[in-house]
Amino acid sequence: MDFTYPKNVIFKCNKCGICCGDTEEKKRHILLLEQEANVISAKTCLPKEDFTTQIADKDSYSYEMKKNKKGKCFFLKENQCCIYEFRPIICRFYPFELKFDPAKNQYAFNFTFECPGITKGRLVTQKDFKELFSLAKKRLL
């Protein structure tokens, strides 16, 4: 499988938490694969129903993360992710996303300028995108 990626993108997470919840401009959907919901449930000793809502299968995703009253992820506490080491793939990818382009028969990484960490930090290399793509192949493809 082949993929394209944006060249010359600079990124460093500044831990602002914008990716972890709704903003005035965007309602965030933190989607989870069945296996991710199961791992989070096992690691936190919480039933999936406490932190997810089951959804109709959407591109292999079976659950959506619940949010607190402020529209932030269930596991975001004081702007820190409580499940960081086993967070869902959708969280690991942000501010990047991977889409399949049927016209070109290949996958393409895109990114969003919504994230204030874009244009700060270090150059995101081909190696970084290969690692993300490898994770996607293991979990999604």
Cis peptide before 102 (omega within 30 of 0): no
Residue 1 pLDDT: 60
Residue 59 pLDDT: 72
* Each residue's pLDDT expressed in tens, for the chain with a length of 141 residues: 689 999 999 999 999 999 999 988 889 999 999 999 999 999 999 999 999 999 987 678 999 999 999 999 999 999 899 999 999 999 999 999 999 989 989 999 999 999 999 999 999 999 999 999 999 999 887
Q: Torsion over CA of 132, 75, 68 and 24, rounded to 10 degrees? A: -30
Residue 82 pLDDT: 96
Residue 25 pLDDT: 87
Residue 140 pLDDT: 82
Residue 3 pLDDT: 94
The model carries a pTM of: 0.89
